[in-house]
Amino acid sequence: MADTRMTSGPDATGRIKRTRSIALAMLVVTGVINYLDRSTLSIANPHIREELGLSVAEMGILLSAFSWSYAFAQLPTGALVDKVGPRILLAAGLAIWSVAQACGGAVSSLRQFIATRALLGAAEAPQFPTCARVVSDWYDVPERGRPTGLFNSAASLGPALAPPILTALMVSFGWRWMFFVMGGMGLIAAVAWYCFYRDPEDAGLSPAELHWLRQDHAPSRRDVSLEEWLRLFRHRTTWGMALGFAGALYLMWLYLTWLPGYLEIEHHMTTINVGFAASVPFIFGFFGSLLGGVLSDILAARGFAPIVSRKLPLVGGLCGMAVFTVPAALARDANLAVLWISLAVFCGCVATANAWALVTVTAPPSYVGSLGAIQNFGGYFGGSFAPVVTGFVVHSTGSFTIALLIGAAVAFVSALIYLVLVREPISARSLQS
């Protein structure tokens, strides 16, 4: 393991291990809050539609408001992560998105709701580029898969916890108080992150510890100029990661935003039953994310090139997600539908964990946040179409079957894009000259 390479003794190794553990634990917590906040709208879907008088198609537009702003906010966010560091940016993002979340509980019209969701999306943008930068700063290349899988597991753990937790809040206090409570929780987390996390240069490490962190994988932070950032788009790898992630997140975002509504509309489940059934696929996804990180590290340890060790589970996961979505689309039994969707989400999370691990081995260290944000922009630009397309397809056909089959096709195409376009890392020299 990389920690055995520390030249300054057990005390230094212990300090870096503790710092890593605290950072990862807080990234998981903030990631869970991030996804709980995203899920409030989908959990309260039928109640909000009824109170505000929204059609299924209008709800699809509202559900997409988050992902549009989230996608476009990725582009400046990536550069900001590399410029100011994870500590400041994530704390600021958490505070702003928590205020936006609380404001969602006070809306009285579709327009107001779209505005709060758009602000929520823009402020949540730093979460995953920040996570990728933290892993790049604190972990050596061969051991980045597991921590990446761990922080990415929040993308499943949050939606898994959302149905029971948010449904209980909504049933007990109403959907508006559900938004208020989640906003308060996020503000507390923002203060905790700012108080307890430090970037490597500010963590009080000894010179020997800093030397170890920087010697082959984490140089001191440098500003990424606009010209250097634009040069990322000269590389086929950048386009492959952005376009590939667009397909991956289209289907994942379809499940995240429409699963409760799907179970209610297609299978006539009650609110309470939906609260439990909708959590099952994301429990599968939690373990898929962890497995995805372990698989990539195992492949790396067995001598596979860093990109290949990430890309194989990524492509396999996307293909599995597409395959299992087909029987989910055709299922007429609710339990079978939940089972197939669970397997699809499991495979999807294997894929997304490795998509983020791929960022840390394709980008030079000072560009990890930038490339991760570009990939995430592509993902959520593609994903933002899922709620709208699904809403209009269901509105037109009265069924989710065609919408799910479209999602399966998109996921399969994204696997081909990663396979064909992402073949080599981006060199620092090509960006700086």
Q: What is the CATH number of the domain that holds 70?
A: 1.20.1250.20
| The two three-digit tokens of residue 66, written as one number | 């988050």
Asked whether residue 1 is domain-assigned, the answer is no
Alpha helices in 44-85 (DSSP H): 45-52, 56-84
Question: How many structural domains are present in the chain?
Answer: 1
| The two three-digit tokens of residue 99, written as one number | 């205020």
Structural contact between residues 16 and 203, judged by C-beta atoms closer than 8 angstroms: no
**Does the pLDDT at position 170 exceed 70?**
yes
Q: Tens digits of per-residue pLDDT, 392-425?
A: 898 888 889 999 999 999 999 999 999 999 988 8
Average pLDDT for 296-313: 89
Asked whether residue 204 is domain-assigned, the answer is no
Asked whether residue 216 is domain-assigned, the answer is no
Average pLDDT for 122-131: 88
| The two three-digit tokens of residue 336, written as one number | 């079978």
pLDDT for res 219: 46
pLDDT for res 154: 84
pLDDT for res 218: 45
For residues 182, 186, 187, 190, the Cα torsion angle rounded to the nearest 10 degrees is: 180
Average pLDDT for 11-20: 68
Asked whether residue 257 is domain-assigned, the answer is yes
**Does the pLDDT at position 73 exceed 60?**
yes
**Cα of 4 vs its chain's centroid, Å:** 31
Contacts of 286 (CB under 8 A, 6+ apart): 153, 156, 157, 160, 349
Asked whether residue 219 is domain-assigned, the answer is no
pLDDT for res 303: 86
Report the percent of the chain where pLDDT is more than 70: 91
**DSSP helix, strand, coil percent of the chain (3-state; round to 5):** 85, 0, 15
Asked whether residue 179 is domain-assigned, the answer is yes
Q: Tens digits of per-residue pLDDT, 337-381?
A: 999 999 999 999 999 989 988 988 898 877 877 888 889 888 888
Asked whether residue 214 is domain-assigned, the answer is no
Q: Tens digits of per-residue pLDDT, 97-123?
A: 999 999 999 998 899 999 999 999 999
**Cα of 163 vs its chain's centroid, Å:** 18
What is the span of the domain harbouring residue 394?
13-199+224-432
Asked whether residue 255 is domain-assigned, the answer is yes
Highest mean pLDDT among 20-34, 198-212, 257-271: 20-34
